[in-house]
């Protein structure tokens, strides 16, 4: 199983899409990340796996990553920016 950072690097279209306004006119300017020390409770490693929910509950995602990011970014633009 791959960690999220490796997945993000292997899917540059997802990373580009995650930037608010990516690929749209009126896009927000690119921002440089600000890195800080870890805080108590921060998740340092994630190996998210939905296979148990699929097996036991019949769970199936209703959105692709791209569609979910599109919805999330639209909401973010309307409600936060």
Query: Is residue 27 within 8 Å of 21, Cβ to Cβ?
Result: yes
pLDDT in tens, 38-65: 999 988 888 889 999 999 999 999 999 8
Pick the residue with more confidence: 23 or 42?
Answer: 42
Percentage with pLDDT > 90 across the chain:
40
Task: Give the pLDDT of residue 64.
Answer: 92
Question: CA torsion angle for 42, 47, 53, 54 (degrees, to 10)?
Answer: 150
Give the pLDDT band of residue 1 (cuts 50, 70, 90).
Answer: very low
Task: Give the pLDDT of residue 28.
Answer: 66
* pTM above threshold 0.75: no
């Amino acid at each position: 199983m791959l960690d999220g950072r490796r997945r993000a690097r292997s899917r540059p279209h997802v990373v580009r899409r995650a930037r608010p306004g990516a690929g749209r006119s009126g896009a927000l300017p690119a921002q440089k990340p600000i890195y800080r020390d870890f805080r108590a409770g921060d998740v340092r490693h994630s190996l998210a796996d939905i296979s148990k929910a699929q097996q036991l509950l019949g769970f199936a995602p209703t959105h692709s990553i791209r569609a979910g990011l599109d919805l999330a970014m639209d909401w973010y633009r309307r409600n936060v920016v």
